[in-house]
Structure 1
Amino acid sequence: MKRMVDCVVLKRKAEGLDKPPHPGELGKRIYENVSREGWKQWLERLVMIINENGLSTADPNNLSLIEKHMLGFLFGEGDYGQVPAGYRAGGGKK
């Protein structure tokens, strides 16, 4: 039987992740509260955030900012996680 969670992203019950997708307490929190589909939506948003802000996952300062965006997108905490200002889908000009 699939593990179900009350997904904070989808706002409904949905199939959970197989394992924590992030280290530490945040990873455990995500595992317990975010569905596969919710995590997929976060990964899509993450690509947008990285590209729009020119971030590098190899830079520890950028990882801290990415975590802030993650908390904002997944849990509505803080001022991060939204679509970047001026973003236009499909690569349109600002």
Structure 2
Amino acid sequence: MARMVFCKKIGKESKGLDTQPFPGPKGLEIFDNISKEAWDEWLEHQTRLINEKHLNMMDLTARTYLNEQRDKFFSGEEIDQAEGYLSTSK
């Protein structure tokens, strides 16, 4: 049976992640409060940001930027969009 969580991003109970996305308190917070659906949405957005903004993941500034964007994404705050990205959803 799938592990269920009340997802703070989508505001309803949904299937949770199978494992913590990364170690530490932030990874545990995401594991406990974010659904697989919301995590997958974040991964897609993160990939767009990395690609379109040409972020170097070896650069601490780029990693810090993505962490800040991730926290805003899951809190429902306004987040940066990849320049030139056109959403296919209506």
Give TM-score, length-normalised by structure 2.
0.83
What is the CA distance between 1:88 and its match in structure 2? 3.0
Aligned to 1:6: 6
Does residue 1:18 correspond to 2:47, yes or no? no
Q: Quick one: distance in 2 between partners of 1:26 and 1:75?
A: 13
Residue 87 (structure 1) aligned to one of 64, 84, 88: 84
Aligned to 1:31: 31
SS at match of 2:13: strand
Whichever residue aligns with residue 24 of structure 1, its letter is: G
Q: Which consecutive aligned stretches of 4+ in structure 1 deviate over 4 angstroms post-superposition? A: none
Q: Which runs of 5+ in 2 are unaligned?
A: none
Whichever residue aligns with residue 12 of structure 1, its letter is: K
Q: Quick one: distance in 2 between partners of 1:74 and 1:57?
A: 21
What is the CA distance between 1:89 and its match in structure 2? 1.7
Deviations 1:36-73 (A, max 9, x none): 11100000110111122221222122111110010010
User: Over aligned residue pairs, what C-alpha RMSD do you find?
Assistant: 1.8
Aligned to 1:52: 52
Q: Which runs of 5+ in 1 are unaligned?
A: none
Give TM-score, length-normalised by structure 1.
0.80
Given that residues 9 and 76 in structure 2 are in contact (C-alpha distance below 8 angstroms), is that contact kept between their aligned partners in structure 1?
Answer: no
Give aligned pairs, total.
87
